[in-house]
Amino acid sequence: MTSSRGLTRLSAHRMGAGLRAGEFSARELLDAHLSLIEAQDGALHAWVSLDFERAREAADRADTTLVAARGVSAAPRDGSTPTLDALPRLLGIPVALKDLVVTRGRPSTAGSRILESFISPYDAHIAERLDAAGAIVPGKTNMDEFAMGSSTEHSAWGPTGNPWALDRVPGGSSGGSAAAVAAYHVPLAIGTDTGGSIRQPAALTGTVGLKPTYGRVSRFGIIAFASSLDQIGPFGRDVRDTAILLGTIAGRDERDSTSAPVAVPDYAGELPSSDDEAAASLRGVRLGLPRQYFVKGMEPGVEARVREAVAALADAGAEIVDVDLPHTDYGLATYYIVAPAEASANLARYDGIRFGRSVRGADVLGNYLATRGGGFGAEVKRRIMLGTYALSAGYYDAYYLKAQKVRTLLKRDFDEAFAQVDALVAPTSPTVAFPLGARLDDPVAMYLSDACTLPVNMAGLPGLSIPCGLSEGLPVGLQLIGRAWDEARLFRLGRAYEAITADAKWRTLEPTDLRALDDPATPGPMERVAIMGR
């Protein structure tokens, strides 16, 4: 029998195997995670809402299903009860949701005071998928307000710490989900990626994160930031777990017109089972290395780890090909025209009349201005203003229309690169996790955090971030970029890299500040920022 805390260290696929074998129950597995959350989240602040009662009810239902399945696994069946092998892979497994996934009867705030009183009357598509699979949702994780940020410091509920260094950010906007997985609060979590908001926090917390192809996962029930860029995706601690979660949530949804009618492979089932088989799959693979992704300002330690990872892939049999993506340098500027423009339109619905925060006491215009003025944070206001300006009469052609044309050129660069190679390999983030408060007064420096990730969103392609070592004791991420709908190849490449680095010392290390999380005297992120004087 694994100890209570030891249960939280298992991979999700190992948890699933243990549940089927009867080594522990779903209730025991859940309670191990809930006790860790209760003990540590005061210092970490990865969570913004928790529902232990509903989670325990879901765990009890999972246990009932598991007991019934064990009773028919070797006996004739009437078809009403599945065998153990036929059960969903996520049955009984805890999964965290980012706080912009709406769920019936639960708070869904998108990290904003303008939605602090909002309780959703329906479930998002992915929440329905997870419920049908028997996954257990303990609660919602912290995030930058409306997913606008790269550090989870723009949350109305305060920042989140990084389990590797509590005085540093976990990345963003899905920093709460990444931190919860890195701290073993859950084995899996859902994030969203508009310009890097899954991959960048995955890199900064030493976890695995995938931004799927645009349209692979339904956005129904996801509080929108930029509709042509947003995509839901998974976090895990290894590639197989991440593949299991994507396989559960992916697929066509008639309620989302951008959800593609494309078949979903058995991502996890197609992965090699042994390290030797996984490593051998690299032979003959052509990987493109784009020089433009080694951006100005990249930390030397980050570049060193990424180039070491590329060398390891080459030593294992992959062919590394230098490729050119000439319009990459325009990606950042293009993104910060398109994304704010779409955000200004999406956030117009928060008017204090239909739902969410509502300030009364003046005329209609006064109530509207007071509701939005007090409900939105500084970063959201900044992007609404940028987007409204870009869409305004006289400036639409000069900014928004031109940005869409450049977006086409970015996509063409990728198409030409994929005519030569099977996938691209690049850094995920130009830096390791930076200190809390260090970039709040410099929005441009904050925006540069996503320089290596946002071109993928502009082109609608899949991108996978996997850990590739440490720099100054903090995680570094390696990014794999694929053709549209080619997530399966990225998972195979990620699994192969795990195999060829299985004996690396850094793979045996847990986040440095986990012990501090156990100390009740450890200050939370807000107190830590105050102590640092930021």
Active site (catalytic) residues: 98, 173, 197
Concatenating the DSSP letter of every residue in 21-32 gives HTSS-HHHHHHH
* Start-end of H helices in 46-161: 52-72, 125-132
In what side-by-side order are the strands of the sheet with 232-236? Answer: 47-50, 139-141, 95-98, 188-192, 232-236, 208-211, 463-471, 474-481, 423-427, 286-290, 319-323
Closest C-alpha among 459, 150, 481 to residue 327: 459
* Burial degree of 78 (CB within 10 A; 0-12, 13-18, 19+): exposed
Phi, psi at 340, each rounded to 5°: -65, -35
Is residue 181 helix, strand or coil? helix
Q: End-to-end CA distance of the chain: give it in Å, rounded.
A: 46
What are the helix (H) ranges across 206-357? 239-249, 275-280, 300-315, 331-346
Nearest-CA neighbor of 44 among 173, 149, 177, 156?
A: 177
Distance of alpha carbon 26 from alpha carbon 19, whole angstroms: 7
Separation CA 159–CA 151 (nearest Å)? 8
- Answer positive or negative: Cα dihedral of 296, 301, 302, 304: positive
Q: How far apart are CA 93 and CA 107, in angstroms?
A: 22
User: What's the rounded Cα separation, in Å, for the pair 233 and 192?
Assistant: 6
